Structure 1
Amino acid sequence: MNLSTTGAVGGQLTDAQFARVREWVYRRTGIQFGDNKRYFVDKRVNSCVREHGGDFNLWFASLRAGADERVAQQLVNELTVNETYFLREDHQFDSLVRTVLPGIAAARRAQRDATPIRILSVPCSTGEEPYSIALRLLSDWPGIEESDVEIVAADIDTRVLELAQRGEYGARSMHRVPPALRNRFFERIGGDRHRLSADVREAIEFTTANICDTAQMRSFRAFDVVFCRNVLIYFDEISSRRAAENLFGALRPGGFLFLGHSESMSRISPIFDPVRLPEGIVYQRPAIGATA
């Protein structure tokens, strides 16, 4: 049996099969895989096909029909890149606790608005980013004592969400966590692995989200801050613009968007205003009544 005809596990996808998978993934997630990712895609598609009888054509027919969402979710999980660690690009957390959150809290007090400050981390991968936000708030923002804060974390990959909720991490994830935070918020569970305290784990709400799915993103609204870092680089122009519009909709007027260091909203869409803070650039949804 040969993959080029029926899709036996272990072989290489034909050009036609690779194109079909690539198109399906693009329509589902907005992620565009180039020819340089051929080996990566082959390996992970084979893993999925193996679990569904070893025949590519039958597997892809089931995928395209959408009768079993588990088939689609497995492929999404296999092809999603989840490279992260605690306190990554820490200067942005500095901006959050030194400038952004104090400003939001002050505005709430001035307006006598008791609405919780809401923060969204998407995609959250295995949880290091939303947990880093929580750790920095607890350790470095005095306003946390008098402010109600909600943190929501979302990802398209259901497998990493399960790992995130478990809150257990190895040396690679932990390499930037200083001893003071390790001692206060983590317990060693064997070897170089640590488990985050239950209080912090339970403070984060985890859920699924595809930032390119406009219908799905309509359920994410009224956030004051969104972290969406190092994912737009995987999108083409169309998907990036759609994601930007969905993130815009998730924010309250005046809310702030944090992107990765290699990403620039100014090259994607003009709907956000770039704001230069002492620690770097963030993007803001214009406040109601704001003029250019």
Structure 2
Amino acid sequence: MIPAATALTETDFERFREYFYRRTGIQFAPSKRYFVDKRIDHCVRAAGFETFAGWFGALRLGDRPALLQELINQLTVNETYFLREDYQFDALLNAVLPRVLAARGGPGRMAGPVKILSLPCSTGEEPYSIALRLLAEWPHIDLVDVEIHGGDIDSEVLSRAAHASYGERSLQRVPKLWMSRYFNAVGAGRYQLDSSIRDAVTLHQINICDTAAMRVLHEFDVVFCRNVLIYFDELSSRRAAENLYSAMRPGAYLFLGHSESMSRISPIFKPIRLPEGIVYQRPTGAK
């Protein structure tokens, strides 16, 4: 029988924590030991190793990238559903997009599309929520070219996002009219988003703390980065903020989760108070 990974020594656990932090920017507190140990145990067994030491040695060697990806998939949290924190989508339609259009010349006179990024996008509910709100409610949707992108470090949830099949819990806040118009029943209480909307969202596998990898994302007008910075320490949060800054146009807008505040992380963004809450702007003229 393969020994349980919960038999890790304190030294093993600290070595693992440091390794995972360096690769992802995520640092687990000692209070998360049980959560981490169970998922390491799964990874050790699934990869066919007999000991943590053998598995961890192969992981650090780096010639089997699937080991790291499975570990990331096991240890990242993916709590989401359609129209989560919907007041921010209200702010997007009522205040942010009008400002973006005004700054870029208005409908019909813009050079290039309005670009929106959702990171992390998990199983797709967040970028697809943006697409649905724009399609159903934004008066300029037929006049303005819009690109929506989603990104996540977890390959498994990205695969599920591409398929876009959801159960009732994810869909509980979706209006019935939208369900009949944009979703197709696929059996066993599951519904798949119409391909026309799935195809309108481009998905990327990406680590928000990886500066080199984040360079593929650029010139975004609006970024949603909700409920991920709370998992980072000060250094990782600052690096993530700088990478988001580089991915945005001057004057672009950033939405964080309701419990997150950029003022505690970095001064590079300007807070803007809207009726629906606070949004952060990359200053105009900033390089």
Q: Which amino acid aligns with 2:251?
A: G
State the 1:218 CA deviation.
Answer: 1.4
Q: Which amino acid aligns with 1:202?
A: D
Give me the whole-angstrom Cα distance separating, in 2, the residues matched to 1:9 and 1:289. Answer: 52
Give me the whole-angstrom Cα distance separating, in 2, the residues matched to 1:42 and 1:289. Answer: 44
Q: Which amino acid aligns with 1:78?
A: Q
1:158 pairs with one of 129, 141, 155: 155
Task: Provide the residue aligned with 1:213 in structure 2.
Answer: 210
Task: Provide the residue aligned with 1:75 in structure 2.
Answer: 71
Q: Which amino acid aligns with 2:125?
A: E
* TM-score, scaled relative to structure 1: 0.94
Give me the whole-angstrom Cα distance separating, in 1, the residues matched to 2:264 and 2:29. Answer: 21
The list of structure 1 runs, each at least 4 consecutive aligned residues, that deviate by more than 6 angstroms after superposition, is none
Task: Provide the residue aligned with 1:87 in structure 2.
Answer: 83
Gaps of 5+ in 2: none
Gaps of 5+ in 1: 2-6
Give me the whole-angstrom Cα distance separating, in 1, the residues matched to 2:5 and 2:254. Answer: 42
Q: Is the 8 A contact 1:98 1:141 kept in 2?
A: no
Segment of structure 1 superposing worse, 130-139 or 32-41: 32-41
What aligned pairs does 1:55-134 form with structure 2 within 5 A after superposition? Answer: 55-110=51-106, 112-134=109-131
- Corresponding residue SS for 1:226: strand
1:25 aligns with 2:20: yes
Q: Is the 8 A contact 1:8 1:54 kept in 2?
A: yes
Q: Which amino acid aligns with 1:36?
A: S
RMSD: 1.6
State the 1:10 CA deviation.
Answer: 5.7
Give me the whole-angstrom Cα distance separating, in 2, the residues matched to 1:218 and 1:109. Answer: 26
State the 1:191 CA deviation.
Answer: 3.1
Q: Is the 8 A contact 1:185 1:197 kept in 2?
A: yes
State the 1:289 CA deviation.
Answer: 6.5
Task: Evaluate the alpha carbon distance shift between residue 110 and residue 128 of structure 1 in structure 2; reply closer, same or farther with a 3 A threshold.
Answer: closer
What aligned pairs does 1:178-257 form with structure 2 within 5 A after superposition? Answer: 178-257=175-254
1:141 pairs with one of 116, 138, 141: 138
State the 1:11 CA deviation.
Answer: 4.0
Aligned residue-pair number? 285
Give me the whole-angstrom Cα distance separating, in 1, the residues matched to 2:193 and 2:106. Answer: 35
1:159-217 Cα offsets, whole Å, 9 max, x none, are 10000000000111111111111111111222321110010001100111111111111
What aligned pairs does 1:241-280 form with structure 2 within 5 A after superposition? Answer: 241-280=238-277
1:59-80 Cα offsets, whole Å, 9 max, x none, are 1011111111111111111100
Segment of structure 1 superposing worse, 166-175 or 185-194: 185-194
1:37 pairs with one of 22, 28, 32: 32
- Corresponding residue SS for 2:284: coil
* TM-score, scaled relative to structure 2: 0.96
